[in-house]
Amino acid sequence: MRGRGNAEIICLIRKTGGIIKQIFVTERSQVAKLLIACSLSIVCMLADFQYQQFDKFRVRVSKIVYPLQMLVDAPFSGYEQVVTYLRTRAALQVENAVLHQEDLLLKGQLQKMQSLEIENNRLRQLLDATAGRKDKLSVANILHIEPDPYSQQVVINRGKAQGVVLGQPVIDASGVVGAIISVDALTSKAILVTDANFAVPVENTRNGLRAIVIGTGSRDTLELQHVPNTVDIEVHDLLVTSGFGGRYPFGYPVGEVLAVERDPGKPFATIYVKPKADLARCREILLVQANKESSALSEKEILPPRPEKETKL
């Protein structure tokens, strides 16, 4: 038994030695192959660097490898594109919302700028209308229009505290608006030139004819009173304040002759006048500095009795 066991041990040792020997032999052959491959690689790189011998081969290999590269890269590039699209879409939505808000704000500011530009143009027209005159003027704003349908009067934001007096003339950039008929501490009431109870002495700039213009109660029509049929007056003649009466300075436009009707059976012609002042749209007006005589006028003196209409017999 002991001899048999020794024989097995000797056989196992021989087998183990052979395996170990084979491993060392295999490792040497692999090291040799690695050295040969590295040497060949270095030689190929040097040859390619010096003589470009592998350009054609590299091009052919790239044509074969390129589809494989695209196939491998497709999932990653697709993922990046999807992420980029989602991020871009979200950023565009946020940017669109911000731009929409800015657009609304700019439109609101533009509306305000347009109204300021219109107001600036009106004020410039007021200044241009008084250029070359020595009359003292002050600017006022119309607060509201009196609701009485039988009178045409407005309330302005100037009163005794700002030096407004009864009878003070009121004009705008185009012509005569009316006159002050009542004064409070901070506000005043003005009667418009078109009011049925208002009258103002005028002069025809073409021939110097003097007459009186009265209101008709209509916002766009005046009437020239007591002008004989034979008097020289034509459509489009300009009527300005004559300066008589001590209330209105000379030369402020009142209106333009709109129509002339002559009836042989009547002693006076019917003459309609279009107001020069923009009564329907004016917001800013000018107060002409009153003289001492007009500042002492009463409301009854400011509103002279309306000339009696001709009655048919």
Q: How far, in Å, CA of 192 to CA of 200, rounded?
A: 11
* Within-domain flag for 230: yes
**Among candidate residues 248, 251, 200, the one with its CA nearest the CA of residue 223:** 200
CB 241 within 8 A of CB 133: no
Q: Read off the pLDDT band of 58 (50, 70, 90).
A: low
Q: Is 90 exceeded by the pLDDT of residue 204?
A: yes
**Dihedral class, residue 251 (left if φ above 0, else alpha if ψ from -120 to 50, else beta):** left
* Within-domain flag for 58: no
* Within-domain flag for 71: no
Range of the domain at 247: 137-302
Q: How far, in Å, CA of 288 to CA of 249, rounded?
A: 9
pLDDT at 38: 84
Q: Is 50 exceeded by the pLDDT of residue 296?
A: no
Q: Is 60 exceeded by the pLDDT of residue 98?
A: yes
Number of structural domains in the chain? 1
* Within-domain flag for 221: yes
CB 194 within 8 A of CB 152: yes
Q: Is 80 exceeded by the pLDDT of residue 107?
A: no
Q: Is 90 exceeded by the pLDDT of residue 130?
A: no
Q: Which amino acid is at 216?
A: T
List the single range of 13-17, 118-122, 251-255, 292-296 with lowest mean pLDDT.
292-296
Q: Is 50 exceeded by the pLDDT of residue 311?
A: no
Highest mean pLDDT among 55-64, 94-103, 194-203: 194-203
Q: Is 70 exceeded by the pLDDT of residue 127?
A: no
Q: What residue spans of the chain are helical by DSSP H?
A: 2-51, 55-129, 292-295, 299-302
pLDDT at 46: 74
Q: How far, in Å, CA of 109 to CA of 89, rounded?
A: 30
Q: Is 90 exceeded by the pLDDT of residue 35?
A: no
Q: Read off the pLDDT band of 241 (50, 70, 90).
A: very high
* Within-domain flag for 83: no
Q: How far, in Å, CA of 122 to CA of 3, rounded?
A: 135
CA 170 and chain centroid, separation:
32
List the single range of 112-116, 196-200, 259-263, 296-300 with lowest mean pLDDT.
296-300
- The alpha carbons of the chain give a radius of gyration, in whole angstroms, of 53
Query: What integer best gives the mean pLDDT of the chain?
Result: 78
Bridge-based pairing state of the strands 176-183 and 169-171: antiparallel
pLDDT at 293: 47
Question: Which residue would you say has higher pLDDT here, 143 or 97?
Answer: 143
Length of the chain in residues, anyone? 313
Q: How far, in Å, CA of 248 to CA of 227, rounded?
A: 21
List the single range of 94-108, 138-152, 209-223, 267-281 with lowest mean pLDDT.
94-108
**Among candidate residues 243, 220, 257, 225, the one with its CA nearest the CA of residue 169:** 243
Question: Which residue would you say has higher pLDDT here, 192 or 12?
Answer: 192
* Within-domain flag for 174: yes
Q: Is 70 exceeded by the pLDDT of residue 24?
A: no
* Within-domain flag for 115: no
**Backbone dihedral angles phi then psi of residue 259, each to the nearest 5 degrees:** -155, 145
Q: Is 80 exceeded by the pLDDT of residue 66?
A: no
Hey, is 6 helix, strand or coil?
Answer: helix
pLDDT at 294: 46
* Within-domain flag for 204: yes
Question: Which residue would you say has higher pLDDT here, 300 or 166?
Answer: 166
Q: How far, in Å, CA of 179 to CA of 303, rounded?
A: 9
Q: Is 90 exceeded by the pLDDT of residue 55?
A: no
Q: How far, in Å, CA of 218 to CA of 278, rounded?
A: 13
Cα 303–Cα 278–Cα 218 angle in degrees, nearest 5:
55
Rounded percentage of the chain residues whose pLDDT exceeds 90: 30
DSSP 133-197: ----EEEEEEEEE---TT--EEEES--GGGT--TT-EEE-SSSEEEEEEEE-SS-EEEEETTSTT
pLDDT at 168: 92
CB 155 within 8 A of CB 143: yes
The CATH number of whichever domain residue 177 belongs to comes to 2.40.10.340
Model pTM score: 0.57
